[in-house]
Chains A and B, each alone.
Chain A
Amino acid sequence: MAFYKEHYEVVIIGGGLAGMACALQLQLKGVKDILILEKHNLPGGLATSYVRDGIEIEATLHEMMSIGSKKDRLKVGAFFDEAGVSIDWLKVPEAYRFIQTTDGIDITLHAGFGRMSMEIDAQYPGWGKKVLEFMDLCNTVYDSMNTLSVTPMSKVQMLLQHPEFVKTAGYTAQEVMATFGFPKEVEEILTPYWIYVGNPMSTLPFTIYAFLMADYFRGGSYVCRGFSHEMSMKMQARVEENGAQFELRQEVDKILVRDGRVYGVRTKRGDEIHADYVVSGAYPNKVYTQMIEPLSEVPEGAVKHVNGRRLSVCPVSVMMVLEGTPEQLGIKDYNIFSGNTMDTDEIWKDLHTTGPYRFLTSICLNLANPGCTPEGYTQFSITTLPLVDGFLDLKESEYFDFKRRLADQMISEYEQTTGVHLREHIVEIEVETPVTVSHYVGAWKGSIYGYSHSIDDHAVARLQMKEEDHFIEGLEFAGAHAISGNGMGPAVTNGRAAAKAILEDLERRDKAAQKEAKGGADR
Chain B
Amino acid sequence: MKVKGFLKDIGGASRVTKMRREMIQAASPVPDPKDPIRELADALHPGRQTFVVTQVRDASPTSRTYRFEPASNDDGTKSHIPAFQAGQYATFFLQIGDSLVSRAYTISSAPYEAQGETPFFEITIRRNVSYFVPDWFFENVHTGCRVDAALPHGTFYYEPLRDARKIVALAGGSGITPFVSMAREIAHGTLPVDLTILYGSVKADDIVCGETLAAAEEACAALHAEDPSYEGRLKVVHVMSDDPSWKGERGFITRELIEKYSEGDTTYMFCGPLAMYRAVSASMDAMGVTLRRFRHDVMAQPSNVKQIPGFPEEQIGQVYRLTVVRGIQEDVIEARADEPVAVAIERAGILIDTRCRGGECGFCRSQLLSGRIFVSPLGDGRRQMDKEMGWFHACSAYPVSDLKVKIPIL
Residues on A facing B (Cβ under 8 Å): 1-5, 41-42, 49-54, 56, 159, 166-171, 175-176, 178-179, 205, 226-227, 229-230, 233-234, 237, 245, 247-250, 269, 271, 285-286, 288-290, 295, 298, 300, 303-309, 323, 388, 391-397, 399-400, 404, 407-408, 411, 423, 425-429, 434-436, 438-439, 442, 444-446, 455-458, 460-462, 464-465, 468
Contacts and interface: CB of A to CB of B under 8 A. Distances in A.
A439 B33 contact: no
7 tightest A-B CB contacts, nearest first:
A170-B12, A3-B327, A308-B27, A249-B408, A289-B33, A169-B12, A308-B24
Given A397-B115, A426-B292, A439-B44, A445 B327 contact: no
A308 B2 CA distance: 32
B28 A307 contact: yes
Given A304-B29, A435-B40, A461-B13, 15 more contacts: A2-B327, A41-B365, A56-B383, A166-B12, A168-B6, A233-B389, A250-B408, A304-B28, A308-B27, A323-B291, A423-B161, A439-B42, A446-B37, A456-B16, A461-B20
23 contacts: A52-B155, A167-B10, A170-B12, A170-B16, A226-B385, A237-B389, A285-B35, A289-B31, A289-B33, A295-B31, A304-B25, A392-B37, A396-B40, A404-B160, A426-B162, A427-B290, A427-B291, A435-B41, A436-B41, A438-B38, A446-B38, A456-B19, A465-B21
B37 A388 contact: yes
Interface string B376-398: 00001111111011010000000
Contacts of A170: 9, 11-13, 15-16
Interface in B1-57: 1-3, 6-13, 15-17, 19-21, 23-33, 35-38, 40-45
A339 to B, nearest CB: 22
Contacts, number: 231
A51 B360 contact: yes
B360 to A, nearest CB: 7
Contacts of B17: 458, 460-461, 464-465
Interface string B202-246: 000000000000000000000000000000000000000000000
Nearest to B12: A170
A303 B291 CA distance: 52
Contacts of A393: 36
Contacts of A304: 24-25, 27-29
Contacts of B380: 54
A175 B7 CA distance: 12
B383 A399 contact: no
Please indicate which of the listed interface residues A169, A178, A250, A423 has the most CB atoms of chain B within 10 Å of its own CB: A169
Q: Is the interface of A mostly helix, strand, loop or mixed?
A: helix
A243 to B, nearest CB: 13
A411 B363 CA distance: 31
Nearest to A158: B13
Contacts of A444: 35, 38
Contacts of A176: 6
Nearest to B8: A167
B159 interface: yes
Given A1-B329, A51-B383, A286 B35 contact: yes
B88 to A, nearest CB: 11
B115 to A, nearest CB: 6
Given A3-B327, A176-B6, A249 B409 contact: yes
